[in-house]
Amino acid sequence: MTAIEPTWQPYEEHGHLTTRSNLPDTVFAFPAQRKEPLTDAQHVRNALARFGQVLDVSEEDRALAFANIQKAAQYYGVHLSETNWKELSIHHNLRRQKDE
């Protein structure tokens, strides 16, 4: 299996809050779909929690998104216990089944 190269880059706009439409593709976990912005530690945690809820993406998109989340998590000091994207989807689906 080939390692996926993350595309994520930190984006820190000073001044007024930047709207989502002004953000570059490189700050999103899913850059092609512009889903799950990773602009700070809280957004990284949100992307982890919502990973399994992102629809209409391929396994390759998920692999890239996870690589981007890993890079952003390291940058913002967010601990990840998961080592691949499939662990996120499995954990999310198990929690979802228990709640139903």
Among 20, 64, 29, smallest CA distance to 50 is for 29
pLDDT digits (tens, 9 = 90+) for 1-32: 567 899 999 887 654 555 667 899 999 999 99
Q: What is the pTM of this model?
A: 0.79
Cα distance between the two ends of the chain: 35
| Tokens coding 45 | 């945690």
Distances (CA, A) of 36 to 1, 15, 42, 97, 100: 25, 22, 11, 23, 25
Domain positions in the chain: 29-99
pLDDT of residue 88: 83
Contact between 23 and 11 under an 8 Å Cβ cutoff? The reply is yes
